[in-house]
Amino acid sequence: MFIFRLAAHSMFLMLFLLLVFQQSALADCRLVINKGTNQLAFYENGYLVDVFPVATGRLPQYTPEGDWQVVVKLVYPSWRHPDGGPTIPGGIPENPLGPRWLGLNALGTGGSSYGVHGTNNPYSIGTHASSGCIRMYNEDILWLYDRVPVGSGVNVINSSEDLNSWKVFSTVQVNGSQPDFAPHLGPIRDGSKTWLPVRPTAEALGYRLFWDESSNTLRLANIAREVSLAFGSQQISVNNSVYSAEDAPLMLEDTTYLPDYFFERFLGAQLSQDAGNGVLSLQSPADPWGGRLSRYQMTINVDGKAVNLPESQPILSDGENLLVPIRPVCTATGGIVSWNGPAHTVDVMLREKRVQIPETGSPALVNGAIVREPTGIQIVNGTSYVSLRFLADIFGFITEVNDRSRVLNISTITAPTSLSGPTVLRVSPVAA
């Protein structure tokens, strides 16, 4: 009755594999196949992950409607024409089943008659072309096969409804461009909300991402905000202020997802939704530093006493080094800080040293002599920042950065230069 039947001698192999694969689904996966539009929707743990084009039966009755299950999985299945002829082994161009087979128990069959599989006729995808099976592009069935365990439900329907409309937003734009999502791992839908992959979306908004394995915490930072969130927790920290969200971060397919409102409420992006055209847009404020600098919330202690930095003058990071606001930090260490208008330098008087730091980034002068240590100077919203390493080397401070407790300890006790050493921000990039 249908063209794509497996070779009879393969039945023994299938029965064996059926016994092997009779186990609980590794994930709660479900397929919805719409014969009317030739589409397949893939759900994982209740989230609509993606919609694929397929080919279904040439006539409506060829692909049976109803609720079925995946009962067989095969790699490079062999095939034999139902009218007879030689068996065509899997993995060759002449085999019409492609590289993978997900066999269904439709109409009481054992998984050898009806299935979701690849094809050697990609031009048929999107049409009514088969004698009962569901064809997919080979690259799509390879992706799907690895994620659909035996026991997964399959609902075959016949409707004129475009399954892409179930996603509501099939296109995401960030600052006018589409983020570089991994294949089939763009926006997902839980029925009421759209969730976005954190890494490509946040990076497109100008954030840097860091992962703290010890605390299971993800940190996102740009020049204006530092946002921390933990898996399984609805508590979100923004610049050390804690908020409560309706949802916790989601891990799906080894990818971290956040609902779209997170990016507006906590990351400061402007969110607009055009459901009619299926477009979700995010727009972030312009960053004059192009993502080179990011906020790094820390407590500063100088000789055991806390230094209260203004909210507008936080510690910054350039990815490797900490940058501290010159005036409050040097004042706390006993220095005198002033602006030298004619020379365009920030001058610091401390420990019989007069340090002149040009705003242009040129080498600094210590008592009139040029020093090699880069200052790392940046002028951010009228505040002058320099590298913590520079201050430690010039003035002999002992600096200790505790990334876990977020404390920077500065001791002004004079130490040998070799003890001050470079101060490097130690954080790990996120793998999300």
Domain of residue 385: give its range.
Answer: 296-426
Question: How does DSSP classify residue 177?
Answer: B
Structure tokens at 86: 């030689």
Sequence-distant (≥ 6) Cβ neighbours of residue 58 within 8 angstroms = 128, 129, 130, 131
Same domain? For 236 and 119 the reply is no
The verdict on residue 2 lying in a domain is: no
Same domain? For 176 and 305 the reply is no
425 vs 117, more confident: 117
Q: Distance of CA 4 to CAs 88, 145, 302, Å?
A: 12, 18, 76
**Would you say residue 13 has pLDDT above 50?**
no
Catalytic residue, from 9, 29, 81, 117: name it. 117
Q: Which long-range contacts does 166-171 make (Cβ < 8 Å, 24+ apart)?
A: 166/41, 166/48, 166/51, 167/48, 167/51, 167/194, 167/278, 168/194, 168/275, 168/278, 169/194, 169/273, 169/275, 169/278, 169/279, 169/280, 170/51, 170/278, 171/277, 171/278, 171/279, 171/280
**Can you give the pLDDT at residue 407?**
94
Widest CA span of the chain, in angstroms? 99
Same domain? For 225 and 323 the reply is no
26 vs 20, more confident: 26
Same domain? For 275 and 347 the reply is no
Sequence-distant (≥ 6) Cβ neighbours of residue 165 within 8 angstroms = 278
Residues 98-111: what's their mean pLDDT?
A: 96
Q: What percent of the chain has pLDDT over 70?
A: 89
**Can you give the pLDDT at residue 84?**
81
**Would you say residue 422 has pLDDT above 80?**
no
Whether 330 is catalytic is no
Residues 91-99: what's their mean pLDDT?
A: 94
227 vs 290, more confident: 227
Same domain? For 276 and 301 the reply is no
Domain end marker among 283, 307, 323: 283
Question: CATH number, domain at 174?
Answer: 3.30.457.10
The verdict on residue 290 lying in a domain is: no
> Over the stretch 345-372, which tens digit does the pLDDT of each residue have?
999 999 899 999 999 999 999 999 999 8
The verdict on residue 432 lying in a domain is: no
Same domain? For 243 and 319 the reply is no
**Can you give the pLDDT at residue 26?**
54
Same domain? For 14 and 151 the reply is yes
Structure tokens at 202: 């946040």
In whole numbers, what is the pLDDT of the chain averaged over residues?
Answer: 88
**Would you say residue 299 has pLDDT above 50?**
yes
**Would you say residue 90 has pLDDT above 80?**
yes
Domain end marker among 250, 283, 316: 283
Same domain? For 13 and 156 the reply is yes
The verdict on residue 394 lying in a domain is: yes
Domain end marker among 115, 132, 162: 162
Query: Please, which pLDDT band fits residue 212 given cuts at 50, 70 and 90?
Result: confident
Same domain? For 313 and 261 the reply is no
The verdict on residue 431 lying in a domain is: no
Same domain? For 228 and 325 the reply is no
Whether 133 is catalytic is yes
> Under a CB-based contact definition with an 8 Å cutoff, are residues 399 and 302 in contact?
no
**Can you give the pLDDT at residue 124?**
97
The verdict on residue 289 lying in a domain is: no
Same domain? For 217 and 143 the reply is no
Question: CATH number, domain at 68?
Answer: 2.40.440.10
Nearest CA to 412 out of 390, 423, 396 is that of: 396
**Would you say residue 133 has pLDDT above 90?**
yes
Catalytic residue, from 9, 81, 128, 133: name it. 133
Same domain? For 178 and 154 the reply is no
pTM: 0.84
Q: Report the domain count for the chain.
A: 3
